[in-house]
Amino acid sequence: MLSRVKVEAIEYGDRKVFTVASFNRGVGDWLSRLPTVWVEGEVTELRRQAAWQTVFFTLKDPGGSACVGVTMQRGRFDALRLDLANGERVHVFGRPQLFEARGDLRLRALTIERFGLGDHLAALERLKQRLAAEGLFAATRKRALPRMPRRIGLLTGNDAAAKQDVIATITARFPPARLLVAETYVQGPRAAEAVIDALRRLCAEPELDVIVIARGGGSFEDLLPFSNEALVRAIVASPVPVVTAVGHEGDTPLCDLAADARASTPTAAARLVVPDVVELVARLDRARAGLSRGTLRLLERETVRLQQTHDRLRRAPQLLLERRRGALEQAAGRLRALSPRSTLERGYAIARSPEGRVLRTSVGLETGMRVEVELAEGALGARVEEVRP
């Protein structure tokens, strides 16, 4: 059995005074004696990380604004396999606990049972399905962001965190960037209408190439204006591409689904809309070096080609002369082979009539007719003594 630390007051005359630590310890000790209870509410601000041993969320009264923080051991939470999401109504069984260091009242949960979808979540789910059926969230209708926007619109609240994150990141990554900031309500019943009006005014500005809608983290209820149907339709109808960075990474309001691009944080949104000037300069340097190397290689190839052409031109007359000499010799050889004198050199003779006509037949010759006989070397006169057919 756990022993209780005695809470003692400090006496100032007739007055007993408790220190803050003693007071919190006493209240915590008294709360620890209360029985376990079931509490009904809607889950908001659910936070869990792989490195955390505890799961945190807020339990909101379904009919009002009252809320209480809840903690639960991560192993016990995971074992329930409820896959809870913000907006779900649940029954939590546990006991109250005071974190003495901060005087923070929490409900230490022992188990959780799902009651059903909360009113907000159910309404959002119906709206989400209806808008999706109209094609408002389709990837095919989303536009590519400009690589180097001339002017960037930033729609945000007057909270320094989100606005300064975007401005600081954009100016650091791309100093020439031109920013137009429109501050408006980003929380409360007037937020959706105010954001729509600011969006329309930004779209009317000249040379505006992209708009960033940024809002820091908040509770489930704080982010509800960014799931407003009219705002979703205004983002879809925007003539300028829209980037949203609303809430934390786990938050997904409907405006994120309608935007042309969604960033998990305002800083990430800034990285999406402008290039990094350092990377651009490095890329240009690499491109310049590549062009220089390419030019040198081309010049070397052309120099070699020109030298080869020069050599061919220098050798061309001699080659042509040799080819012509060879062709002439081939023709002379053929002519010599076909020449009658070549035939004579092989032992043949050419007989001619007195008129000088080459005799190819004995027809027309008569006995006693004189003929001329040409030899390979010299010639002789002869007389026909006999004619044979």
Residues of the domain holding 370: 342-383
pLDDT at position 1: 39
Does residue 316 sit within a domain? no
* Chosen domain end from 220, 251, 275: 275
What CATH number does residue 67 fall under? 2.40.50.140
Q: Tens of pLDDT along the chain (389 residues)?
A: 344 556 777 878 788 888 888 888 888 888 888 888 999 999 999 998 888 999 999 999 887 889 999 999 998 888 887 778 888 888 899 999 888 888 888 999 998 887 754 556 667 888 999 999 999 999 999 999 998 899 999 999 886 688 888 999 999 999 989 999 999 998 888 899 999 999 999 999 999 999 999 998 776 667 888 999 999 999 999 999 999 999 777 778 899 999 999 998 889 999 999 998 888 888 888 888 889 888 889 998 998 889 888 888 888 788 888 888 888 888 887 877 777 667 666 767 788 888 888 877 878 788 888 888 887 788 888 888 888 87
The answer to whether residue 322 is domain-embedded is no
220 and 188 belong to one structural domain = yes
Alpha-carbon gap, residue 274 to 388, rounded angstroms: 114
Same domain, yes or no: 132 and 250: yes
Rounded CA separation 67/59 (Å): 5
Q: How many CA atoms lie within 13 Å of 52's alpha carbon, on the beta-carbon side?
A: 14
Residue 320 falls inside a structural domain: no
* Residues 188 and 255 occupy one common structural domain: yes
pTM score, whole prediction: 0.51
Is 201 found in the same domain as 286?
Answer: no
Task: Please name the residues in contact with 222: beta carbons below 8 A apart, sequence gap of 6 or more.
Answer: 187
pLDDT score at 345:
66
* 56 alpha-carbon distance from chain centroid: 35
Same domain, yes or no: 130 and 271: yes
Asked if residues 275 and 173 have their Cβ atoms less than 8 Å apart, the reply is yes
Structural domain contains residue 239: yes
